[in-house]
A and B are shown apart, each in its own frame.
Chain A
Amino acid sequence: MSSLSVLIKKECAEDILSSRSIYFFLFASGLMSIFAVLLITNRELSLLDNAQAVYKMTTIVLALASLVTILQGSDGFAGERDRETLEILFLSPLSRKGLAFAKLGRILFSWLVLFALSIPYLWAVGSTGQNLWPSIYILFITGTLLVLALGGIALIVSARTATLKSALFISVIVFLILGSPAVLGASLRQTGIGKMIDLVDPFMDALNTIDSVVIDSQGFDFQVLRLGIMALYALIVLWFLNVASRRIRL
């Protein structure tokens, strides 16, 4: 077993066995449960059809994925530094790049667990309507690309900041900047600048892609531009992570 896979396995085991991850996954499940119940009990939400309900559920999943990604990414190096375990990892034969990508592997594992948890909810709200399985596929693709980009950014920040608190603070700000177009009104997003922001923002690309597939029933070829931009984001971030891993602050 290579050092890289050993570290990823240990990170994933720590995720499952530590209280932090258990609480997070329970919280995520609880939140999706509350939303699912509201969909049938709340008057406004009960008017949503299956496609709209699925879209809103996927939005919640992406928000939760973003949250756990920036938390774990910030903890990647800064947390090890705070716990004084970073230097010992540097002593091992594992390269710095391997260490960075092992941390990214942990983040992807958490995303996969969250995605798996969301599938029953998506089935429950969307099985009697349209585009359930396309919505699950596109959630997986957009979620993975978004997690790679956000996770990479959080790890880069973590590699260069002195403490976990600083890393978390900066990562949250980055996430808020990326997510802010979502709170703009629909009319503002229809302006030229709004459309440009929608296109270049990976978070909005993910939401708009899901909207396009789930609600508008548009095919995969319609999503190529947005998915391409998201993939480009992920590649650029991973490249920077590779560079930053050589200069991880001790």
Chain B
Amino acid sequence: MIKGILSNPILVMTVILFSSCTVFAKGTSPIQVILQRPVGTLRMGDTPKFTGIVTNSGQHTKERLIVYLSLVSLEPGNEHPVDLEDWSAQKALRIDSLLPGQVNTHDWGMRLIQSGKYGVALTVVNPREKKPVVSDLVPFDVQRKPMLSVSRIFPVALGEPVALLMLFGLILVAQRKGKL
């Protein structure tokens, strides 16, 4: 079989080309990026840190890499990008130099301001390469947690100043009546 493949020059060229592509594909993304979510249940108001790991598995030093976070809402029927500004998240990071074999680890913090289903990914851009490298999308759920009771706060917030006013008014009236 091998003799048959080698006797056909077109076939040989195809194999060589395919292998080169494969090798080339591997050679164009020596950067690997992994994003890890924190352990445990995430709730509204929490400030978890997602760990981003950028590895230079190539033979050459990579310089001036730009790493940025992306957040999307994965609510069924309401998928949309989320503005990281609202979530007080660190949006981007620059790695000046990543040596061959070097690993850059960074914690990406954010504040979970709303419950729901979300996904977050980390993207690495090399200015000298066309294709950015993106991590796997990391899905996570933000749970609602018991917050303040509106039905208790409003009556107290409105009622106590009014009650105080009435009480002081009664004291002053009683004081004057007592004198007469």
Contacts and interface: CB of A to CB of B under 8 A. Distances in A.
A9 B175 CA distance: 16
A164 to B, nearest CB: 25
Contacts of A46: 147-148
Nearest to B163: A29
A125 interface: yes
Find the residue from B154, B155, B158, B161 having the highest chain A CB count within 10 A.
Answer: B161
Interface of A: 16-17, 22, 25-26, 29-30, 32-34, 36-37, 39-40, 43, 46-50, 53, 117, 120-121, 123-125, 127-129
Given A29-B160, A30-B161, A128 B153 contact: no
Interface of B: 44-45, 111, 113, 145-150, 152-158, 160-161, 164-165, 168, 171-172, 175
Given A29-B160, A37-B157, A17 B171 contact: yes
A43 B111 CA distance: 12
A39 B156 CA distance: 13
Contacts of B156: 33, 36, 120-121, 123-124
A47 B113 contact: yes
A87 to B, nearest CB: 28
A124 B149 contact: yes
Question: Looking at chain A's contact residues, is the secondary structure mostly helix, strand, loop, or mixed?
Answer: helix
Contacts of B153: 36-37, 39-40, 124-125
Contacts of A53: 148
Contact of A17 (B146, B152, B161, B175): B175
A26 B161 contact: yes
Contacts of B161: 26, 29-30, 33
B148 A47 contact: no
A50 B148 contact: yes
B15 to A, nearest CB: 60
A16 B172 CA distance: 10
Contacts of B165: 26
A39 B148 contact: yes
B44 A47 contact: yes
A33 B158 CA distance: 7
Given A34-B157, A53-B148, A123-B156, 4 more contacts: A39-B148, A48-B45, A49-B45, A124-B157
Given A120-B156, A120-B160, A128 B171 contact: no
A194 B111 CA distance: 27
A128 B160 contact: no
Given A17-B171, A124-B153, A125-B153, A117 B146 contact: no
A47 B155 CA distance: 21
Contacts of A32: 157, 160
Contacts of A128: 146, 148-149, 152
A33 B157 contact: yes
B45 A124 contact: no
A40 B160 contact: no
Contact of B171 (A16, A36, A47, A50): A16
Given A37-B157, A123-B152, A124-B156, A47 B146 contact: no
Nearest to B145: A49
B174 to A, nearest CB: 11
B117 to A, nearest CB: 19
Contact of B164 (A29, A34, A36, A43): A29
Contacts of A117: 160, 164
A179 to B, nearest CB: 26
A32 B157 CA distance: 7
B147 to A, nearest CB: 7
A43 B88 CA distance: 13
Nearest to B168: A22
Contacts of A37: 153-154, 157
